[in-house]
A and B are shown apart, each in its own frame.
Chain A
């Protein structure tokens, strides 16, 4: 739809009607171009432990080798 204006009147018309309205004294309304959207930084997600505390280094559990005993 194309927005046209004549004095106090705004009309929105289809492409094939534009010429007819321009013949009646309507003019195209310039649509303000909004600024292009900038990519917003993604907020960092906080690491939380099971109890809700933040900034806690995750506990690293080392796998311990167990001696394999041969049972007879």
Chain B
């Protein structure tokens, strides 16, 4: 508190800088789009829109070769099949708010539309989009057939330890190798708990390399260097969410411990986005009205579903053992 004595004896009005100039917000650390690489997949824009909510993904299959015959002429026939797989968007979300002009003044410009939408994006919209992306990819993948074996994909359920984590990761990479997935561009998403486990295992393996000689390089550690490893909060790596309002982990959700993906295997189309701020009017009883809506979805491409692999454990917690 300032007094005439401590402000030089003049009778100036006291300034409380904390209340007069504090316009920046003290919020929790913002969420980011953890699966950003999947939102910018080159697949977006490659496929044709049939209407405002359906895209069609084309594919062609052909038969194989047969023995030639020099003595006869065989009938020519069509030996290829053209197929269109429709994907219909269904994730339509909205958010809106009213802001009274006097609230903006009386909160000293804290409750501005800019600040409000920034907090909404960073604390609600981004994590909700991440929750939707991971759970939708998992759902689609577990209902899609392996294009090579025609069997439904099943996630690896090994409980991870420092002793086995590199082997589990190696087996996921091997499945991708056998599925002819490009080695370049693979991304491994893991909860931070698993990231720690991975680093510990890597450290142990590298020290073993040194003690056992320079020629005995652990192949599994090399494989880890081939992928981009991204840590994600474990709450955003679940298999099922409740999207009634915002998002929350649903009962019965499983923990995804490893999500190995090549972005070419997913498509994240956005059909429609709208956001608008209306000035105060009689209809809004003198308030600003902000409204935004988007119509989007996430799909996997069935023919490239081998470029997605999961390690999942039952229950809410991260499946690790020390």
B138 and A8: CB pair below 8 A?
yes
Q: What total count of A-B pairs have CB within 8 Å?
A: 31
Residues of B within 8 A of A10 (CB): 240-244, 250
Q: Given known contacts A24-B90, A25-B90, is B136 in contact with A8 (CB within 8 Å)?
A: yes
Instruction: Indicate whether A6 reaches chain B with its CB closer than 8 angstroms.
Output: yes
Q: Considering only CB atoms, which chain A residue lies closest to B238 in the complex?
A: A8
B181, chain A: closest CB distance, angstroms:
23
- Residue in A7, A9, A12, A25 with the greatest tally of chain B CB atoms within 10 Å: A9
Instruction: Indicate whether B306 reaches chain A with its CB closer than 8 angstroms.
Output: no
A15, chain B: closest CB distance, angstroms:
15
B86, chain A: closest CB distance, angstroms:
14
Instruction: Indicate whether A22 reaches chain B with its CB closer than 8 angstroms.
Output: no
Instruction: Indicate whether B139 reaches chain A with its CB closer than 8 angstroms.
Output: yes
Residues of B within 8 A of A25 (CB): 90
Instruction: Indicate whether B255 reaches chain A with its CB closer than 8 angstroms.
Output: no
* Bound-state Cα–Cα, A11 to B246, Å: 11
Interface residues on B, range: 10 to 19
Instruction: Indicate whether B135 reaches chain A with its CB closer than 8 angstroms.
Output: yes
Q: Considering only CB atoms, which chain A residue lies closest to B251 in the complex?
A: A10
- Give which listed residue, B140, B240, B244, contacts A12 with CB less than 8 A: B244
Interface residues on A, range: 10 to 19
Chain A positions 11-55 with a Cβ under 8 Å from a chain B Cβ: 11-13, 24-25
Instruction: Indicate whether B239 reaches chain A with its CB closer than 8 angstroms.
Output: yes
* Bound-state Cα–Cα, A11 to B243, Å: 6
Q: Given known contacts A6-B90, A8-B132, is B139 in contact with A13 (CB within 8 Å)?
A: no
Interface flags, B221-240, vs A, CB<8A=1, else 0:
00000000000000000011
B206, chain A: closest CB distance, angstroms:
38
Q: Considering only CB atoms, which chain A residue lies closest to B140 in the complex?
A: A7
Chain B positions 74-107 with a Cβ under 8 Å from a chain A Cβ: 90-91
B241, chain A: closest CB distance, angstroms:
7
Chain B positions 147-172 with a Cβ under 8 Å from a chain A Cβ: none
* Bound-state Cα–Cα, A10 to B138, Å: 15
A7 and B139: CB pair below 8 A?
yes
Q: Given known contacts A24-B90, A25-B90, is B136 in contact with A7 (CB within 8 Å)?
A: yes
A11 and B240: CB pair below 8 A?
no
B75, chain A: closest CB distance, angstroms:
45
A5, chain B: closest CB distance, angstroms:
8
Residues of A within 8 A of B135 (CB): 8-9
- Residue in B91, B140, B240, B244 with the greatest tally of chain A CB atoms within 10 Å: B244
* Bound-state Cα–Cα, A9 to B138, Å: 12
Interface residues of B (CB under 8 A from A): 90-91, 132, 135-136, 138-140, 239-244, 250
12 more A-B contacts (CB under 8 A) besides A9-B132, A10-B250?
A: A7-B140, A8-B136, A8-B240, A8-B241, A9-B91, A9-B241, A10-B240, A10-B242, A10-B244, A11-B243, A11-B244, A12-B242
* For the complex of A and B, 4 pairs with smallest distance between CB atoms: A8-B135, A8-B139, A10-B242, A10-B250
Give me 11 A-to-B residue pairs in the complex whose CB atoms sit less than 8 angstroms apart, sorted by A's number: A6-B90, A8-B136, A8-B138, A8-B240, A9-B135, A9-B241, A9-B243, A10-B240, A10-B242, A10-B243, A12-B244
